[in-house]
Amino acid sequence: MRAAWKIFCLSTATFAAALGLAYLLVPDVVPVAFAEEAQGTWAVMTAFVLRAIELIAAAVAVIALAVLGGGMIRLAWPRAH
């Protein structure tokens, strides 16, 4: 259970860092190549990479929470003999 908490905290910190960098570096850039206004290639690529990191970190956090929930349920229910 301790390892799951570490993974959850690490992925949450990674998500927050990627989100903060996205707002700092590319605040008005959509991570899609086709936009109404012309956008720099570096900005689109940076926004895409940061969005990918955010989504991966969020998925890992959800999986870690599911593992923690399963472990807590397993500890709470008495074992059948």
pLDDT at 35: 62
Alpha-carbon span 31 to 38, nearest angstrom: 12
pLDDT of residue 80: 62
Contact (Cβ atoms closer than 8 angstroms) between residue 39 and residue 29: yes
The confidence score (pLDDT) of residue 67 equals 94
* Distance between CA atoms of residues 16 and 33, nearest Å: 24
Per-residue pLDDT tens, the chain, 81 aa: give them: 789 999 999 999 999 999 999 999 988 887 776 667 777 888 888 999 999 999 999 999 999 999 999 999 988 888 765
CA distance 21 to 2: 29
* Count of alpha carbons within 13 angstroms of residue 5, beta-carbon side: 4
